[in-house]
Amino acid sequence: QRYLGEGVDGDSVGFTLTSGVVDDVRDRFVGQLETLDFRRWLVQFFTESGHEDFGNYSEREDPIEAGALKDALEQGAALIKPPYVKFALTQTAPESFCLGFNGHSFMVGQSLLPMLKVLMKEQGVNATGNPEILSDPGALAFLLALHNHQGLELGPTCT
């Protein structure tokens, strides 16, 4: 959308920008930089693949169902982030965060932060060490989405 401020209209060409116009445009940019949308965009931007072969956010060929993931985690299996997967995390409110993965973003609560920090270190997490995986209503769905879109791998047991 074209900027239309004081002394500027849709047909203006070859005009001088007054300091008021510059301040107004800057304030509009600054205002946008302080929004949740900007934070979501930022984590998406930083996690987009730079390689064309890995640039698609797509479901894996063999996705698993929530029940199968829950069963595996209850039996001690672990989820781990592969080294080639990029995660970016930013705080969006006192108790909420936005995780970026492969050009997409997920809103998560404070209760999942310790688990996310472990995953970001490429260490495995399971239900034994992270009981919130099974008790937090959105945690399993979140982890399932990451797994089924190739952000996490399900591996053998870990402690």
Q: Could you report the average pLDDT of every consecutive run of 10 residues in the chain (159 residues)?
A: 60 69 84 83 81 65 92 94 92 92 90 93 92 87 94 77
Domain count for the chain, please give it: 2
| pLDDT the model gives residue 143 | 96
Q: What is the pTM of this model?
A: 0.74
| pLDDT the model gives residue 20 | 84
| pLDDT the model gives residue 159 | 46
Does 46 fall in a domain? no
| pLDDT the model gives residue 88 | 92
Does 124 fall in a domain? yes
Residue 130 and residue 142: Cα distance in Å, rounded?
A: 14
Residue 76 and residue 127: Cα distance in Å, rounded?
A: 7
Same structural domain, 146 and 83:
yes
Does 126 fall in a domain? yes
Same structural domain, 142 and 112:
yes
Same structural domain, 80 and 127:
yes
Residue matched to tokens 């060490």: 129
For 86, the domain range is 52-157
Query: Residue 141 is part of a domain; what is its CATH number?
Result: 3.40.366.30
- Beta bridge partner(s), residue 80: 153
Same structural domain, 68 and 124:
yes
Stated as kind and residue range, the H or E segment containing 156 is strand 153-157
Residue matched to tokens 């260490």: 123
DSSP output for 48-90: S-SSGGG------SS---HHHHHHHHHTTEEEE--TT--EEEE
Predicted confidence (pLDDT) per residue in 29-74, tens digit: 888 888 888 888 888 888 887 766 555 667 888 999 999 999 999 9
Does 6 fall in a domain? yes
| pLDDT the model gives residue 158 | 52
Same structural domain, 128 and 73:
yes
Same structural domain, 2 and 64:
no
| pLDDT the model gives residue 35 | 82
| pLDDT the model gives residue 66 | 92
Phi and psi angles of residue 62, each rounded to the nearest 5 degrees, phi first: -125, 65
